[in-house]
Structure 1
Amino acid sequence: MDFKAVFVTVEAVCEETAAALCGSPNLPYGAVAQRLVDTLARVQEHGRALLPLVSGFVAVYHHYDFDAQTPGNGYRTLVKVVLSCLLHIVNKARYVAVNCRGPFFRAEHNACELEAYCGALCQLRALLYLARRLLADNAHGQLISLYDGEMSRRFVQEYTSMHKACFYGRCLGFQFSPTLRPFLQTVVISMVSYGETYGKQQSGIGMAALSLLTSGKYVIDPEQRGAEFERITQNLDLQFWKSFWNLTESGLITGFSRITSSPVNVNLTLTLPPVPLRLPLTSDPRLSTTVSPPVAHTGPGPVHARLISHELRDGQDTHELLSFSDMEDAPIGLSISSWSEKKSRSPWLMIHFHGGGFVAQTSKSHEYYLRSWSKELRVPILSVDYSLAPEAPFPRALEECFYAYCWALKHAHLLGSTADRVCLTGDSAGGNLCITVSMKAVSMGIRVPDGIMAAYPATLLTTDASPSRLLTLIDPLLPLGVLAKCLNAYAGNICKGVQPVVGSGSLSALGRDTAMLLSDLTQGASNWLQSFLDPTHAISPSRTPLALAPPLRRSGGGCGEDDGMSRDYPEGFQPLRSECLAFVLQAACPVIKNPFVSPLLAPDELLRGLPPVHIVASALDALLDDSVMFAKKLRDMGQPVTLSVAEDLPHGFLSLSQLTKETEVASDICVQQIRAVFLQRSPSSACLRKRPHLQSQ
C-alpha cells in the first residue's frame, strides 16, 4: 500500500465532500451538515500531522523485523492501523459526497460515523507520538522498553485516562479482517449485556434471558455500547472476566462445537495421580531422576487432562488407561467408541496447553481445533487442564504442565503413541507454558520435546511498553486493563476475585466492593494491589489515583492539562480523555521477571538446549513484539526458531478458526509447523533462519 497516496486521497476526498455539503445551502439538515464539514476539517488536520509520523516509521520499521522474509513488528502494525482508519474515512466521506442530496440520506447517522472515525484517528495519532518516543529511547532493533521503567510507567499512566470508547462502538474492529467484525460486535454486545446482569441471582437460562433483553439497546446505540465496554474493561474485577470467558464452555456452546467439529473416536478426561515419576537422564539413560508431583500453594494434587484422538489406537482402550478416568460418570462424547477399528500406536504425540490468560478456560474451550488437528495429523493429543490463577498462581500451572509432560513420556503407550517424536503446542498463556516446560526439562536433564509450536505466545509478563502493546488501547479482545489483571493474577499479586453481589447487578455495586478491598490489602512487594474502581463511586482522598482524567473532549485541539505525557505530544495537541478512569497496576514485582514466568528475560544458559521453536504470531496482536523479540533472541543464540506472522487477525485467532477463511489459513500454518516437528529427521534440520511470510505460504 502506497501510504503517501492514501494521505493525498484523504485530503482530496475531504475537500470534495466539504464542497458538496457547503455548495448546497438548502440542505434540510444544515446544523448536521456543518458538523460533517467540521469533522472533515479535523480529519485533514490529523492527516497532515500524521503524514510525517508515518513517513518516519516507514523509513525504519524494516530494521525491527525478524528477517527480510518476515515483515512484522509493532511499528509496522501501527502504520497499518492508521492507514486502515484513513481508508474507512475515505469510503464514508465519498458516500456522503455522493448521497448527501438524496431523499434517504441519513445525515445524523453519517455525521456520527465520521465523528467516531475522526475520534479514533485522533487517538491513533497519539499512539504514533508515543511510538515515536519508543523509537527514540530504545536501542536499535529493540522493540520493548525492558529497562526503561519511566517509559513503561508513562505508558500505563496514559492508558488509564485516554478515551477508548470510540474503538468499541461504531469503529469496532475496523483494523481486523472484515469477516471478523460481526463476531467482534457479538462479543462486545454479549460482554456489556453480561456485565449489566452480572451478580444477579439467576439461573443460567435466566441470566441468558436478561442478557438478551439488555443487548438490544447496545445494538441500537453504538456510543452507549462503546462507553459501557470501556467502563467494563477498566473497572470490573477478575472474577467477571473468568466467568465471562468460561461461558465458552457452557453446555450449549460446547454442544454446538462438537456438532460442527471433526468427530473423534477418543475424547477422554483423565486424572493423573500425584505420585513421583522416575525418568532417565538424557546424558546417561542408565541414570534417572525423580519428578515430583505439583505441590505449590495447595500441596500435592492430581493433574487433569483430556485425551483426544481421531482414531482409536492400541493402548487407548486398556483398563490401565481407563483407571485414570471415571468412565461411569463420563458424559456422552467423553468416552471411547468401542465399535471403532483399532489402529497401531502412532509414532507421534502432541501435548497441548490451552490459552486463557492463565485465569480462564480449559481444554473444552479449545476442543474444536484440537479435534481437527488430531484428524489432520493423525496424532493423539493430550491437552492439560492446569490449575488457574488467581487461586493457583505461579508456579502451580508450570508444575502441573511439566508433570503431565513427564507422565505422558512415561505412559505414552496408554495414549496410543510410541512417542518417537513429541511436540508441545499451545496458544497465548499455553505458548508460554510450552516454552517454560521445555526450559524445565532442559534444567532437569531429561528428554526435551522434539519441537514447540507456540501461537501468539506470552513471553514477557510485564507491562513494559512496546509499539504493539500500544494496541491494547484499541483491542477489544486484549485491553491493557484486562491483560494486567491476568498478569498480576498469575504472579500472585492480587487476592482471589471478588465474588458477585447477590441480588445486585449494577456495576457500581461491584466497583464499590472492589474499592472497599483497598483498605484491607497489604501494600507489600510480594502482594501488590490490584483493584479496578467504578468511576461513579466517590473516591476518598486516601484512594485518589495519581492523575485524574480531564473530561472527554470532542476535538483533538490543545489543552492546558499536564498529565505527565505532554512532552510526548506537540504543542496544541492532546488525545481525547475519558470520563472513566482506569486503575492499572504495573506488573513489576520480582516474580514477573522470573525466567520461568517471562522467558524473554531468561539468560542464554536457560534457553540453550531448547528444541526447535515455531512461533505463529498475528500482526494485529498486542503481543506481536514479544514474539518477534523472543524469536530474535533464540536466533541470535543459534537456537532453531521460525516465525510466521498472520495478517488482519486478532490475538486468540485459533479459537476463531471455524469463523473465517483467514483464521482457517492461520490454523493451517500452525498445523504445518507441527507437522514439520514430527517429520524432521534431526533437530538441526529444523533450524530454519528464514520463513516465508504467512500470506505467501
Structure 2
Amino acid sequence: MAPSLEIDDNKSLYNDLRDLCKENITYFTTDERNCSTAIANSFEQLFENVGIIKPLVEELRNVCHLYDFDPSIPGNGYRSYVRVVDLFIAHCIKVCNQMATNRHSFFFRKSFYTKEIESCNQVMSALVLCIENLCLLIGWSEPGMLFAGNDTAALELMMKIEPSKLCPFYGRCLAFQFNESLQPALKTIAIMMAAFSEVYYNENGMMAKANTAWNCSKYMLNPELRARRIINVIQYSSIHFYKAFLFLGETELLKSLPNLVSPAVAVNRLVAIPSKPIKYMKPNGELFELQPSICHTGPASLNVRLIAKTKREGMLAESPSNGTLPEPCENLIIHCHGGGFVSQSSSSHESYLRDWAVRLDIPIMSVDYSLAPRAPYPRAREELLFAYVWALNNAAFLGSTAKRIIMAGDSAGGNLSACVALKCIELNIRIPDSLFLVYFPCAIAWSPTPARFLSLIDPLIPLGFMTNCLKAYACSPDIYQDNLYEYKLKNIAKPKNGPNENITEEVESSEEALKLIHDNEEDTATSVEKTISTNEQRQSKQFSTIITETAENITSTITNTFMTLTGGITEEEISDSEDALNEVVEEKPLPMDLPKLPDDPFLSPYFANDDLFKHLPPVHIVTVHMDPCLDDCVMFAKRLKGLGKKVNMDILKGLPHGFLNLAITCKEAHEGSVLCAERIAELFKEIEKSES
C-alpha cells in the first residue's frame, strides 16, 4: 500500500534535486526567450530552499524514532513530516526531469512550466516554515510525548502562518503526499468544494447554480484560482458550510453507489429505538435503568442500521419464510461512523460496512447519532451508550447472541466508541470485548501535535474545518453560537438575507418511536418514514432543494468538463486577470480566541484516569501516516501499552484520513478496508481463544 517510490531515509534525493536546479539555472539563464529569467529565478530560490530544509529534516529524522509506539511499527507526526518533505523532493525531481526533457521542443509550454516550478518553490518555502516550527515543538515536549507541553505557544506556531503561504498546497501540488491513484479523487473533491461554495453562498444568483459545470472546469484548469478559493473557504466559512458540503454524500445518487459496487447483503434496514428507559441487568446482578438522552434537543427515537450478509433466526423478529434460518451469530459488531461529529451517517459509510458484513458474516449495527452543532456533547456519546445497552437487551433481534461484541468506530466514531467503553466501566455495565478504532482523535483539545500540523496541508480536514468541528461538538450551544460567525466571509459573498442556518440543519427523528423500517422486497434499499412537524418539513424541503440542485449539476461536471476541454479552452485562457471572483487571500492568520474545551474523559478518552483506563478491553488501532489524528492514535496506544494492556496498531502509507469512505473508488483504500475486516476477524478469534 506504499507509494510507488520508496524514499525513506534516501538523503541523496536532496542532492539530486539541487543538481537538477543548478543545471536548469544554467540552461535558462542563457536562454534568451521570454520567461526564461523567471524560470531561472524560481530554480535559484528552490535551490536555496532545498539547502535550508535539508538540515532541518535531518534533525527530525534523527529523533523521530523516539516517539514511535513500537520500533516494529514506526509512525508519528515527526516521521510524517519527514516523509512529506521526502515525497515533495521526489515530486520536484519529477517536474525538473519533465522540463529537462521538453525544454528543447518547439511546443515547450514555458508559461505552464513557469507556474509549475513557481508552485514547487512556494510549497518548499511553506514546508521550511512548518519544519522550523516542528523543530521548536520538540524542545517544548517531554521525551516521547507528542502532545505539546506549552499548548498556547505551540498553537500559535500553527495558527500564525499566513493563509497565503498555504495556498500552494491546494493548487498544482495538491495531494502530492498521497498515493497517485488517490490524487485524482482528492483533486476532484477540492474542485467540487470550490464550485459548491459558489452555489452555497449564492454568488451571482441563479447564474452560479446554472454554471456549476463551468465553475468546476475553471477550478480544474486554474489551480491557483482553486487554491485561493479553498483557502478563503477554509478561513472564513462556518461549520454549516462544511456540513452542507459533506451532506452531498447523502444525496440519492451517491447513496445508490453501494448498490452498484458493494457486495449484496440479505439485510440492510433502519431500526428506530424508542425513546424510553431501558432496564438492564448488570453483570453483578444489579438491575439498572438507563434513561434516553434528552440533552440539547429533547427526547427522540434513535435510528440504527442493521447490515447482515445472512438472515438469521430471530433477526428483526421475522418469521422464517423459506425453510429454517441459520442460528443467531455469536458475534456482533456495533459501529459508530465518523464525520467530525457534525456530519455523515450509517448510510454514507454503508459501502465498506456492507463489504465487512459479507467478509465476516457478522451482523453490524451502525448508530445514527445526533450531530453537532445542534446536538453537541454529550448527546452523541449518550445515544451511543443507549444504543449499546439496547443491543445487549435485544441481541436476538439483531440476529446475534452477543456472546462476543466488538465496538468499532472511525474518526469521530472512534472517539465515541472509546468514550462509551470508559462509561461502561464507570457504570459497571458489560464492557465491549474489544475496541476497533480507526484514525480517531483521543484528545478533544487545542493541544497541537506534530501530526496536527498536517492539517495545514491536508485537503480533507484542514485546520479551519478541524477547529470548527471541535468547537461545534465540544462547546455548549451558547458559547458556540457566540463564536459561530467570528470568521466573517470577506472575499466570499454571504447569502443575501444573511447566513441561513435552516438549510444546514439535519432533520432529526420525531418523538414518536418507529419500531421498524422495512426494506424493499430485495432488502437492498431502505425506506425511511418519519413524522416531522410542518416547520421541519419546510426546513427539510429547503435544504433538500439546494443539495439536489447542486448534486445534479455536479454529476454532470465530468461530462461537461471534458466537453469544455475538447472545445479548446486552455489553462492560459482562464487567466488571473479574467477571474470573475478575483480571489485575494489576506495576509492574516486565523484568530487565537478559541474557547476553552472541557477536560472531560468522556469527551477526550486520553484524559481518563488510570483507574478507568486500565480496565479498557483489548484495542486494535488502524491509522495512516498522513493523518492529523495520527499522534492521537499513537499516544492512546502508548498509554495502553504502558498500563500493560493489550493493544496493536497498523499505520498505513499513502492514504488520507477517511480512506474507508474512498474504498469503492481506489484500490489502495479498498485494500485498507479489507485489512480492517481482517483485523476485526483476528480480534474475534483472540476473544474466542481467551474464553477457552
Q: TM-score range by the shorter chain?
A: 0.7 to 0.9
CA pair 122-238 structure 1, distance change in 2 beyond 3 A: same
Amino acid at match of 2:70: D
Q: CA deviation at 1:50?
A: 1.1
Structure 1 residue matching 2:39: 3-state secondary structure: helix
Match of 1:274 in 2: 275
Secondary structure (helix, strand or coil) at the match of 1:224 reads: helix
Distance 1:363 1:221, change over 3 A: same
Structure 1 residues 244-259: aligned runs within 5 Å: 244-259=245-260
In the alignment, what sits opposite 1:307?
Answer: 306
Indicate the residue corresponding to 1:378 in structure 2: 361
Q: What is the CA–CA distance in structure 2 between the aligned matches of 1:515 and 1:306, rounded to whole Å?
A: 31
1:107 and 2:110 matched? yes
Tell me, yes or no, if the aligned pair for 2:119 and 2:172 is still in contact at 8 Å.
Answer: yes
Which residue number in structure 1 is paired with residue 512 of structure 2? none
> Are the counterparts in 2 of residues 357 and 429 from structure 1 also a CA contact under 8 Å?
yes
Q: Deviation at 1:352? A: 0.5
- How big is the shift at 1:278? 2.2
State whether residues 201 and 494 of structure 2, in contact with CA within 8 Å, keep that contact through their aligned partners in structure 1.
no
Post-superposition offset of 1:586: 6.0
Percent identity of equivalent pairs:
34
Instruction: Note if contact 1:231-1:580 (Cα within 8 Å) is conserved in structure 2.
Output: no
SS of residue in 2 equivalent to 1:348: strand
| TM-score normalised over the length of structure 1 | 0.81
Cα distance in 2 between the residues matched to 1:154 and 1:512 = 35
Which residues of 2 match residues 154-553 of structure 1 at below 5 A?
154-159=156-161, 161=163, 163-200=165-202, 209-282=210-283, 284=284, 286-318=285-317, 342-492=325-475, 493-495=479-481, 507-509=492-494, 513=498
- Partners of 1:427 and 1:454 within 8 A in 2: yes
Match of 2:666 among 641, 647, 660: 660
| Contact persistence 2:39–2:114 (CA under 8 A) | yes
Task: State the Cα distance separating 1:88 from its structure 2 match.
Answer: 1.1
Query: Could you report, residue by residue, the CA deviation over 1:28-73 in whole angstroms, capped at 9, with x for unpaired residues?
Result: 33xx111111111111111111111111111111111101110100
Deviations 1:250-277 (A, max 9, x none): 0011112321111111111111012222
Q: TM-score, normalised by structure 2?
A: 0.82
Residue in 1 that maps onto 2:29: 22
SS of residue in 2 equivalent to 1:219: helix
Q: Which residue of structure 2 lines up, in the alignment, with residue 88 of structure 1?
A: 91
Q: Return the offset for 1:588.
A: 5.0
> Which whole-Å CA distance do the structure 2 matches of 1:194 and 1:129 have between them?
35
Asked if structure 2 preserves the Cα contact closer than 8 Å seen for 1:235 and 1:511, the reply is no
Q: What does the per-residue CA deviation read over 1:436-488, in whole Å, with 9 as the maximum and x for residues that have no partner?
A: 01001111101111111111011111122111111111101011110000000
Pair 1:678–1:309, CA change in 2 (3 A): same
Name the CA shift for 1:497/1:424 in 2 (closer, same or farther; >3 Å). farther
Shift in Å, 1:19? 2.0
The Cα of 1:121 is off from its aligned counterpart by 0.7
| Structure 2: distance between partners of 1:49 and 1:442 | 51
Counterpart residue number, 2:514: none
Which SS does the other structure have where 1:365 is aligned? coil
Q: Deviations over 1:384-431 (max 9, x none)?
A: 000000000000000000000000011000000011110111100000
CA change 1:451–1:207 in 2 (3 A) is farther
What are the equivalent positions in structure 2 for 1:34-45 lying under 5 Å apart?
Answer: 34-45=37-48
Label 1:122 to 1:310 Cα distance change in 2 as closer, same or farther (>3 A).
same
Q: Which runs of 5+ in 1 are unaligned?
A: 321-336, 517-576, 687-697
What letter corresponds to residue 73 of structure 1 in structure 2?
A: N
Amino acid paired to 2:155: R
Distance 1:440 1:206, change over 3 A: farther
Asked if 2 retains the 8 angstrom alpha-carbon contact of 1:614 and 1:643, the reply is yes
- Report the Cα distance in structure 1 between the residues aligned to 2:151 and 2:496, rounded to whole angstroms: 29
Cα deviation per residue 1:179-216 (whole Å; 9 max; x = unaligned)?
A: 1111011101101101001144999x998754223211
Structure 2 SS opposite 1:172: coil
Structure 2: unaligned runs, 5 residues or longer: 1-6, 502-583
CA–CA separation in structure 1 for the residues paired with 2:672 and 2:194: 29
Change (3 A) 1:85 1:339: farther
1:34 to 1:207, Cα distance in 2 relative to 1, 3 A: closer
Q: 1:79-112, CA deviations, whole angstroms, 9 ceiling, x for partnerless residues?
A: 1111111111111112212221211110010110
The answer as to whether partners of 1:352 and 1:425 remain within 8 angstroms in 2 is yes
Q: Is the 8 A contact 1:200 1:505 kept in 2?
A: no
Query: Would the aligned equivalents of 2:433 and 2:618 in 1 still touch at CA under 8 Å?
Result: yes
Count of residue correspondences: 597
Across the aligned residues of Structure 1 and Structure 2, the Cα RMSD in angstroms comes to 2.8
